[in-house]
Amino acid sequence: MNSAQRLGFSENAKLLIIHADDAGLSHSENMATIQALENGFVNSYSIMVPCPWFYEMSIYAKNNPQYDYGVHLTLTCEWENYRFGPVLPVSEVPSLVDENGFFYKKREKLRENASPEDVRKELEAQIKKAIKFGLKPTHIDSHMYSVGSDPRFLNVYKEVGEKFDLPVLINKQLMEMVGLDPVSNIKEGDFVVDTNYIGEFKYFENGQLGNFYKEIIENLTSGLNLLLIHPAFDDSEMQGVTVNHPNFGAEWRQIDFDFFTNEGNKALLKEHNIELITWGEIYKIKKRL
């Protein structure tokens, strides 16, 4: 039985969350995310609390509660010249930062250095900051799925979700992406997204990223599916953020925006009997069961 069936849908139901990661990362990311929600067919997003543009996106979230949003829990910062760190004072979570007080660029460094206690403190602090600001997140997920860099961090992530009564993104493909064994780390009772899709660099490099997304929609399997994208504009700000980082860089993010605001691409959902669903709707259904 897949997760769609567990929610009460038929075995043939094709449920899809089209989710924009990284809101709050930059002004460009925020504006593209907002336009993709209002004029496109993105139906969910999550906000990075430690980032400088958190405030702007949070004001929008409070003023537009009709759109589904979560907290994009952040423990890594992959960019070369654009750096940020924990919301807590560095002295409270010293194992999470490099010599300059910023998050590590890579998950491997996080795994090597971070303590589960510091991970817990920072994840809780990010959620508390969002809630104190007046946000009402529908779920939590993880930037770069860094919570999966160590089984202990994943357990903390699940426990934090339980503490705040928020659905948690658990998925086999994401675990495999970060080198975590799904068999031993998906526990009985975990609510699992059946299939996760995210762009791969080879498709971007070959100019086929849009075709990759189209094929996902055209061949979507039954069950609960999640398509992770990163809309932003290929402007000077985003080029500065992603300098020397074409993987999920400014050009890539512009392609994401263009594809998911195209009416012809939106029509593919109806053509292939795909039903959009949000984390908020999933939460309500689970509470009724």
Per residue in 265-278, pLDDT (tens digit) is: 999 999 999 999 99
Q: Give the pLDDT score at 289.
A: 84
Per residue in 198-257, pLDDT (tens digit) is: 999 999 999 999 999 999 999 999 999 999 999 999 999 999 999 999 999 999 999 999
Per residue in 72-116, pLDDT (tens digit) is: 999 999 999 999 999 999 999 999 999 999 999 999 999 999 999
Pairing state between β 14-23 and 223-229: parallel
Q: Which residues of 55-69 are buried (b: 16+ CB within 10 A; e: fewer)?
A: ebbbebbeeeeebbb
Query: What value does the mean pLDDT take over residues 103-130?
Result: 98
Q: Please report, rounded to a whole number, the percentage of residues in the chain having pLDDT higher than 70.
A: 100
Token pair of 261, please? 């605001």
Q: Give the pLDDT score at 1.
A: 92
Residue 187 has pLDDT above 90, yes or no: yes
Q: Give the pLDDT score at 103.
A: 98
Q: pTM, whole model, 2 decimals? A: 0.97
Residue 201 to residue 248: CA distance in whole angstroms: 8
- Domains in the chain (CATH in brackets) are 3-288 (3.20.20.370)
